[in-house]
Amino acid sequence: MTRFAAPIAEQIWDMKYRLKDADGGALDQSVEDTWRRIARALASVEKDAKGYEEKFYNALEDFKYLPAGRITAGAGTDRTVTLFNCFVMGTVPDSMGGIFDMLKEAALTMQQGGGIGYDFSTIRPKGAPVAGVAADASGPLSFMDVWDAMCRTIMSAGSRRGAMMATMRCDHPDVEQFIAAKADSARLRMFNLSVLVTDPFMEAVKADGPWELQFDGKVYHTVQARDLWNKIMKATYDYAEPGVIFIDRINKANNLNYCETIAATNPCGEQPLPPYGACLLGSINMARLVSNPFTAEAEISDEALDDLVATAVRMMDNVVDASKFPLEQQRLEAQNKRRIGLGVTGLADALLMKGLKYGSPEAAAQTEIWLKRIARASYLASVELAKEKGAFPLFDADKYLASGNMMQMDDDVREAIRTHGIRNALVTSIAPTGTISLYAGNVSSGIEPVFAYSYTRKVLQKDGSRTEEEVVDYAVQMYRDLHGADAELPDYFVNAQTLEPLAHVRMQAAAQKWIDSSISKTINCPEDISFEAFKEVYMEAYDSGCKGCTTYRPNDVTGSVLSVSESAEKTPAETPELAEEAAGGDVIYMSEPLDRPEHLEGNTYKLKWPDSEHAIYLTINDIVVGGHRRPFEVFINSKNMEHYAWTLALTRMISAVFRRGGDVSFVVEELKAVFDPRGGAWVKGKYIPSILAAIGGVIETHLVSTGFLEGEGMGLKADPTAKVVGLDAPRGKACPSCGQFSMMMVEGCMTCSSCGHSKCG
């Protein structure tokens, strides 16, 4: 008997969480070994280590409690990794030396596997004078480009690439440039962006009043608040970024507002944190706790839930002592406040098992009941820990009970805290659970609705072939098991694609009421939603008490799992270079490189890099296929012999990629993102981070001029060597890990439904 409810669960465990040696040999022989490894590691800080190991194992067993991925993968190993998921770095100083000190700290944190957040509002705006050097400031976005390039070079522990969140206040003079940054798809690819929106700004938006953009007491511009709001809305309508964080609400609702101020969040937004703040995450799997599912007697036992929550809180508190930290400041911050973020996953599945339609008032009411129960149980468990081990060092009973969520908590919980203290300053948060929800049998993620009842997943086999398997939602599979494989699903089964946006907001608001920190949630909007209706979603999120809002509207820029690319003009029969057709909406690439014709059309470009003695010359030749020009080869030449080796290597590698066909626009994106630690240069009024990035820009200019790309920073215009088949099949953007066209926005993060790859780690 396998513990896994679906093949994808075992595959995710093997790829992401199973402990292996350096040669790939399995050290965890079974998932039970993984649970045992985690339980033993987290119990090691207890006096009764053996007793708590068994209690912790029982909580992990059958995926009832799901520690976040970094704990599952890293606990009980000898790897130098952090078990914390979320970090917000120190306040960025408005000085060159201070900025690059912060860059170093970010690199060290991501090297150990942490995702980080930064507030770039503290850097003076572009054009502001820089004392002592007779120059103007380049502004925060230029330094964000440096951070972005650094992040690309860091492969964090467990093959997790670092993820970053950048925030900027709505009154910073460069906020309009920040809002528009993602219009260039090749820029800031490693960042999620969010605007810190204040209550006075929202009041000015509603009143259509003026809004001052200022820095260090100086007003640079005055704009209409509603115009600025519309710019934020239009950018996220078109590009799915920036997100919106209601920062005043976050600080007002913070249990620690008497000793900290928050200005940034972790990459997915569920964890607002102070400078050097750190938080670890875990989730109660609600789908595993429902007894008598799909009957009138379906319920979650209060006693069972309380017991599981208490065990989870103790395990998470132990992580604070068991984990390594990239920086000493992070260790001190974590130990002084002992923040934890216990949340849920499988909530939508649990609601289905009770016959409730996600997004309905009844489902929202049930969600609020469950999450209040979890909040109470978490606080009381932390009080018990305080009795045994002491309160968090910065605890002050009067100030704590007069702050944040404590103001609305039940009197018996408040009295227990006043009498005994509390071990963990904040206890609840709802994190992205995309990968761990697959690991738990494809339960619904976090508090999201079921994304899809089922989909077909292509699995790469060891011999290079691909097989297909159906991936079915946990609750849907359970319903089928009870009522037959062909049973029609009841009306209360809804998914993310059919749910109206305001129903998403209703669920987020219901959950937020009893969550200390915040919630990672994506509000799916239909492609044809009007701009006015789209703006209404954000205003409703603000008015209903949410701490932030992230939406995803599928379109040509963001990609969509519900749309497919247009068919090419030529069919495979007319274009023999194409490989055989494959099902599932895949792009069909050439099976062999094209032969080089005797004559090619091309252009030669001169690139003069500042401070370089010799220019670089790029020749780009094109081939015509199906009546369209597409790049075929590149020649890069320079008289500077220092450039010889890498220009020759680039010539060969880029040409080899071009000759394979398909969408090769990623070559431009990758080159443009290369960062030279010695510094870039200003070329024609634009900062270019390296000479390689400049080469990427030249190639992009050529591809735009020949009609291969739509425009600068934009995607493929037409690919005559590709054909889309299966026009009725769901299709998303290509996954950078497995190559399948199955990337989808889940909980504010692009996630692959095929292999579990996540932009946010």
Residues carrying an active site annotation: 266, 268, 270
Q: How far apart are CA 218 and CA 226, in angstroms?
A: 22
- Give the list of residues 6+ apart from residue 73 with CB closer than 8 angstroms, or none: 16, 17, 19, 81, 158
Q: Measuring CA to CA, which residue among 608, 575, 568 is closest to residue 691?
A: 608
Q: How far apart are CA 466 and CA 460, in angstroms?
A: 5
Identify whether the C-beta of residue 733 lies closer than 8 Å to the C-beta of residue 726: no
Beta bridge partners of 168: 195
Alpha helix stretches (DSSP H) within 354-473: 361-389, 397-401, 411-420, 434-439
Beta bridge partners of 457: 469
319: tokens are: 């992580």
Beta bridge partners of 700: none
Beta bridge partners of 118: 166
DSSP state letter for 44: T
Q: How far apart are CA 350 and CA 213, in angstroms?
A: 46
DSSP 3-state assignment of 463? coil
What amino acid occupies position 41?
A
Identify whether the C-beta of residue 427 lies closer than 8 Å to the C-beta of residue 340: yes
Identify whether the C-beta of residue 597 lies closer than 8 Å to the C-beta of residue 623: yes
Q: Give the H/E segment covering residue 285.
A: strand 278-285
Q: Which residues of 374-385 are buried (b: 16+ CB within 10 A; e: fewer)?
A: bbbbbbbbbbbb
DSSP state letter for 615: -
Q: What is each CA distance from 193 to 239, 245, 388, 722, in whole angstroms?
A: 11, 10, 42, 33
CA triplet 69, 331, 390: central angle to 5 degrees?
A: 95
Q: How far apart are CA 342 and CA 684, in angstroms?
A: 50
Determine how many CB atoms are found less than 10 A away from the CB of residue 438. 23
- Give the list of residues 6+ apart from residue 287 with CB closer than 8 angstroms, or none: 345, 346, 349, 350, 353, 440, 443, 444, 474, 475
DSSP 3-state assignment of 251? helix
Identify whether the C-beta of residue 325 lies closer than 8 Å to the C-beta of residue 279: no
Q: How far apart are CA 547 and CA 502, in angstroms?
A: 16
439: tokens are: 């690991």
Identify whether the C-beta of residue 23 lies closer than 8 Å to the C-beta of residue 454: no
Tokens 């809180």: give the residue: 313
Residue 488 CA, distance from chain mean position: 35
